[in-house]
Structures are given as C-alpha cells and as structure tokens.
Amino acid sequence: MNILRLALLSLAATIAVLFGASLLFKADQPPSQSPAPVTSETDTQDGKISDSALRAARAQIESNIATAAPDYMRFFARLKALLPHDYDVILDGFARQSLEGADMSNVDSLLSEAVRTLRLSNGAFAAKADGPALTRIFTLQAQMMQALAAKDSKLCVDFLYGGASQAFFEFSAQNRGLVADMAVAGLEAINDGRTKQIERNPPSDNDFQLLETALKAKQVSDLEISAILDGKIPTPPIASDRMCTVGQIYLQTLAEMPEPSRFRIYGLAVELMARS
C-alpha cells in the first residue's frame, strides 16, 4: 500500500479547515464593516510608517474585529495570550497593509490570513500535540461536515475536498462560531505541540489497511474508498449525497480506530498540511 498517497489523501477533509491557505473565505467577499480612515499628524517619516500611525491602524483593526465578529475575537485573544510575538507580527502586518491602502474591513479575510500565517510559521508543532488536542481538530471537522450536509450536500463535498464556492463562503460566514472553534482548535494544538513535543512514528501500511478494512465493514465500496482516500473521482461521479455520507463515515471511522494508529494518521495529516 502506498503510504505517501494515502497520507496525502488523509488531508482531503482537512485542507479547507485547520490551517488552510484561505480558511473558507476569499478577499472578494463583501466587507462586513468599513473602518474609519486612520489619521495621524505624522503618518510617515522618510517614507516609513510612523509608530503612532501603526498603533492607530492596529487599534482600529482590533476594534473592527471585536465589533463585527465577536466569535473571531476568541481566536485572536487566545493567539495574543499564547503566542504574543506571532500576534504582534500578524496585527502589525494588517496595520501596515491598511496604511498602504488595502481594505482591511473584511473580518473573515483577516481570520483567514491570520490562520494561514500561523500555519506557515508554527503549523508543524500541531503534529506533536497530545491525543486530545489532535482529536479536537478532527471532531470539529466532523461537526462542520454535519452542518454542511444539513444545508447542501454539494457544499459538504466541497469541504471534503478542500474546494471553494461562493455558496460555501457564504455558509461559512453565517457559521462563524464553528469556524472560530476550528481556528482555536488548531491554535491550541500548536501550543500543545510546542510544549509537549510528542514524537510519533509515521503511519504504517497496517494502519492504513485497518482504516480501509473498517470502511468496508461500514458498506463503503472500493470505488468510494478510492474516492475518499485517493481523490479519484469516477465517471460518472458519485452523487453528492452519498459522497457527503462517505466523508462523514470516513471521519467517524478514523475516530474509532485504535489510538496509536489514529494518532499516527492524525499527526501525519497535520504535519503535511503545515508544509503545504
């Protein structure tokens, strides 16, 4: 069995969630609130942004997030408490973009960029987190899939494969509490991994064989297993309703695997994502 192939495909249900490059949102989403322009007696000095202008722009962005998306403030407040240097880097970056003329009013895009930056700088630590921290990540993925399935099975499949559509972005913006929970879970896993530094062996052929056998025991066909693990879309494609169900079975089956196998697969999935 090709471990690398299956390991990469274990990211199918995670690529749009945990540390994803866009974390469910695009910058062209309508802004939720437009901030007032930043003013300062000396915005620049010798072509450089002044400290006072930077502080004012940053304070304005923080206020905008708190007002427009209180759920997202849970993530930003936790980031400030756990990784203050990273928080400063991210917020200063937002402030600089604002002073350079970028529209920083879209709070969904701000969360997206913050999570992306955190993934690139610290994401690999999450793979070294303990079992409960890793489990929380995948539990929330399952909850998102359930919410999407109740709304639109096609959106559920988009999520499964890390796809994106305007309808998916709109759904996500309407479910900021769950999106924030996922962002916080990733952050907590990073912090846990930085502290505990748990080293795990990569998943074995046997680990993946256990997964495939368990999926077959739940009436998932070979064609469906290939779609969920290999990302191979058959012709004609599997109906969205069924593929959404298979995705949920996949996450449930992972959650039911023996802990050593489960955490090896979880850990590798998170590690590979941090490199993407």
Is pLDDT at 159 greater than 90 in this prediction?
no
- Please tell me the predicted confidence (pLDDT) of residue 29: 43
Q: At what angle do helices 51-68 and 107-122 cross, to 10 degrees?
A: 110
What pTM, to 2 d.p., does this model score?
Answer: 0.82
Q: What is the mean pLDDT of residues 232-253?
A: 91
pLDDT for 64 beyond 50:
yes
Average pLDDT over residues 43-72: 87
User: pLDDT category, 19, cuts 50, 70, 90?
Assistant: very low
Alpha carbon separation from 83 to 60, 75, 80, 118, 144 (Å, rounded): 21, 11, 6, 10, 26
Work out the pLDDT band at 155, boundaries 50, 70, 90. Answer: confident
116 burial class (0-12, 13-18, 19+ CB within 10 angstroms)? middle
Looking at residue 82, its pLDDT comes to 97
Residue with the bigger pLDDT between 270 and 219: it is 219
- The rounded Cα 225 to chain-centroid distance in angstroms is 24
What is the arithmetic mean of pLDDT over 170-196?
92
Summarised one tens digit per residue, pLDDT across range 95-149 is: 999 999 999 998 988 998 898 899 889 989 999 999 999 999 999 989 988 999 9
Arithmetic mean of pLDDT over the chain: 82
Domain-wise residue ranges, the chain: 3-21+124-275, 44-104
pLDDT at 276: 63
pLDDT (tens digit per residue) in 186-196:
999 999 999 99
What percent of the chain has a predicted confidence (pLDDT) above 70? 81
The number of beta carbons lying within 10 Å of the beta carbon of residue 11 is: 21
Q: Judge contact between 219 and 201, C-beta under 8 A.
A: no
